Amino acid sequence: MQITRRMVVRALLERDVFPDYTLLGLDHEFELDLRSLAGQDEGTDGYWAAAKEQILAEGERIQRLVDKAEIDRISVLALARIPLLVATGAVLGEGIDVELYPTRRGAEEGFGWTAGLPVAEFDTVARREGFEPTSVAVIVSVSGAIDPDGVFSVVGDDAAVYEIAARSPGTEAISSQESLDAFAREWRSFLARVEKDHPGAKAISVFPAVGVTSAITMGRLLVRGAHPPLHVYDRTRDGSFAFAMEVTT
């Protein structure tokens, strides 16, 4: 799936916003293109590091314009691997109004919410207590299910392992702004639980099966000085997980 100008215009018009491409490249519209990094090196340490560097650079550029009050709202249409989306959310943060557009496939391929679907519900459960209070991992099962046993083998016996799961997981689990808001509340509640029950945690290992909007939201809700960094894992071709990058604010 490619992001075309027609897709962008159609998605934004649904929210009464009109993109003006005459501004592209003039410090008011942004295209973060990571496709040049793809290929045989995709998924390697060098790939993740280079992609993160580009994301952070773009985030600094946006922040300069936010600080000068030249930007007051950002519409985000994204296609990328999950760790990169989480990192993008972290550089955007909560200090500016951000509108997220989910991918929409099928006959109406593009971006936007799908009307008429129920609001998603989420639960957080402790899958294992672990032996070291400062070692924490979380499984996030929204667009699909993740086998906890595979996570246990990656994080070892010390880590407490939690799972945030949609009651009806699937690619359309988060199909409306209301569903995304429900996920944000659950994720924020989990971060508060880590603050309370795992003081001194150096990082939260994250094993995600999520869509675009929920991945970005996970990064956006990190609070500097309050939450530990996220160690985001990427699902490999054989279904296992490999560490991708650290995401912090």
* pLDDT tens digits for range 159-216: 999 999 999 999 889 999 999 999 999 999 999 999 999 999 999 999 999 999 999 9
Q: Which residues of 6-44 are buried (b: 16+ CB within 10 A; e: fewer)?
A: ebbeebbeeeeeebeeeeeeeeeeeebebeebeeeeebe
- Distance, in Å, from the CA atom of 158 to the CA atom of 142, rounded to the nearest integer, reads 25
Q: How many domains does the chain have?
A: 2
- Distance, in Å, from the CA atom of 95 to the CA atom of 69, rounded to the nearest integer, reads 12
- 127 and 92 housed in the same domain: no
**Domain membership of residue 195 as a residue range:** 122-247
Which of the listed residues 62, 77, 111 is the one where a domain comes to its end? 111
Residue with tokens 């600094």: 60
Angle between helices 177-197 and 212-220 (to 10 degrees): 40
Residue 107 reports pLDDT greater than 80 = no
- 93 and 172 housed in the same domain: no
- 130 and 237 housed in the same domain: yes
- 131 and 89 housed in the same domain: no
pLDDT in tens, 123-152: 999 999 999 999 999 999 999 999 999 999
